[in-house]
Structure 1
């Protein structure tokens, strides 16, 4: 999970670099096409079964995950890297809320307090964003966290249905790629050249390797420990933002990030 966190931080770095040449729709498309090109042939060589009786659940997971990626990439392009990544990591908070609303689960007093602290951290984190008139990017980042939480709800459902992890990831990449191609029919393509091909390749490579490392961590390790260590992505993204773009980290930002990280860890342990 530590390796996955480093790779996700580097993915954010590549997204921010490539955002000057490509739209979020294009970036997500290249990222998901890489996943299809890698997972599809590997599954075919292993003679894995692509057919599934749970296509509705896959479609729901894929659509919410695709929209979450779009909003997340938009936020990364327009906000400091640490802020955008932290907003995306509000997903456990939204997952807890959605579990109550959709699955009628009950929250403990500890989990309820964690949610309150987490959303207080969101307010602290978004204050400078709204003050800098970057409110749209802030809302997009928070929307990415909400949709990612919704997507994880579908992932839990697919796990209970017995769907293999590779199939869930593959159909997410496939549906997202189709969605991206449809959207690009109404948008202009930006040329790929020797200068900007490297950030694109970096997005696909780091995202795919990070997914594999994260899947391995959850498979062989303790789930709650892996979920807690996943928040190292916020730390690595903060360091990258400082060294690459001199992103400032005020006490208010640090306080908001700390509240979101702590509350997310507690919420994932409920």
Structure 2
């Protein structure tokens, strides 16, 4: 299904590109929060589909779990946005919408029988091709020559690529075989992992609001999983 692969690749690469722009022009917490709005947008897309298609139904309890989880994200990250950052903020909202679109397309590819390895491979190809086009934009080339890049930077880049590929494979399998709203709720757990890593590795402060937010994320994910299992068994 080349059309679906192309749509998933374009929406995914654009979502990442806009998010990287936001990371450079917004406080990191704000950029991450806007990106995690993809789960909220998935719920919005499904609710709109249900409104226009009588045959489509949405479990409002799972939508509620996503809302509680996003509240937890906001408590952990506590995003801020200055007036001169509104443009970057709007791009961040667009990034979340495009990411949600990509997740919906990943689900469609899974339903079409495409294996996750093939989905991730063609997404990587699209990312490589579209990413290379950035070199055509004046001033966007890498000012460092290859010999000037330290060896540890190559190792770090390899580590990012390896973990990202594994995460893509797992995410693709989850959206292809699981329930979209449950996956959207569990996706917030990335914030909890980052919260724990920040405390253990970087001596980040242990704030009561962040602990409360992390607890809400975990509880909403557990509720979504158990509710979905009960509904499937029933």
Q: TM-score range by the shorter chain?
A: 0.5 to 0.7
Larger Rg over CA atoms: 2
- Residues 238, 127 of structure 1: CA spacing in aligned structure 2 closer, same or farther, 3 A cutoff? closer
Distance 1:243 1:142 in 2: 31
Asked if 1 retains the 8 angstrom alpha-carbon contact of 2:75 and 2:209, the reply is yes
Q: Which has the bigger relative contact order, CA under 8 A and spacing at least 6?
A: 1
- Residues 80, 163 of structure 1: CA spacing in aligned structure 2 closer, same or farther, 3 A cutoff? same
Asked if 1 retains the 8 angstrom alpha-carbon contact of 2:22 and 2:89, the reply is yes
* Equivalent position of 2:194 in the other structure: 237
**1:267 to partner: Cα distance:** 6.1
**1:258 to partner: Cα distance:** 4.5
Task: State yes or no: 1:153 paired with 2:100.
Answer: no
Asked if 2 retains the 8 angstrom alpha-carbon contact of 1:68 and 1:143, the reply is yes
- Residues 261, 136 of structure 1: CA spacing in aligned structure 2 closer, same or farther, 3 A cutoff? farther
Asked if 1 retains the 8 angstrom alpha-carbon contact of 2:106 and 2:172, the reply is no
Stretches of structure 1 lacking an aligned partner (at least 5 in a row):
1-53
* Equivalent position of 1:33 in the other structure: none
Larger mean Cα displacement after TM superposition, 177-186 or 89-98: 89-98
Task: State the number of aligned residues.
Answer: 213
- Give CA deviations for 1:79-105 in whole Å, capped at 9, x if unaligned: 457x76565444333212112324643
Task: State yes or no: 1:182 paired with 2:129.
Answer: no
Task: State yes or no: 1:162 paired with 2:119.
Answer: no
Distance 1:133 1:171 in 2: 37
Return the TM-score normalized by structure 1.
0.60
**1:151 to partner: Cα distance:** 0.6
- Residues 190, 160 of structure 1: CA spacing in aligned structure 2 closer, same or farther, 3 A cutoff? same
Aligned-residue CA RMSD in angstroms? 3.9
Distance 1:136 1:256 in 2: 27
Return the TM-score normalized by structure 2.
0.67
Distance 1:164 1:157 in 2: 12
Stretches of structure 2 lacking an aligned partner (at least 5 in a row):
none
What SS is found at the alignment partner of 1:97? helix
Q: 1:106 aligns with which of 33, 54, 57?
A: 57
**1:178 to partner: Cα distance:** 1.0
Q: 2:44 aligns with which of 87, 97, 104?
A: 97
- Give CA deviations for 1:101-144 in whole Å, capped at 9, x if unaligned: 24643333423433543454565566542379877776655544
- Residues 256, 245 of structure 1: CA spacing in aligned structure 2 closer, same or farther, 3 A cutoff? same
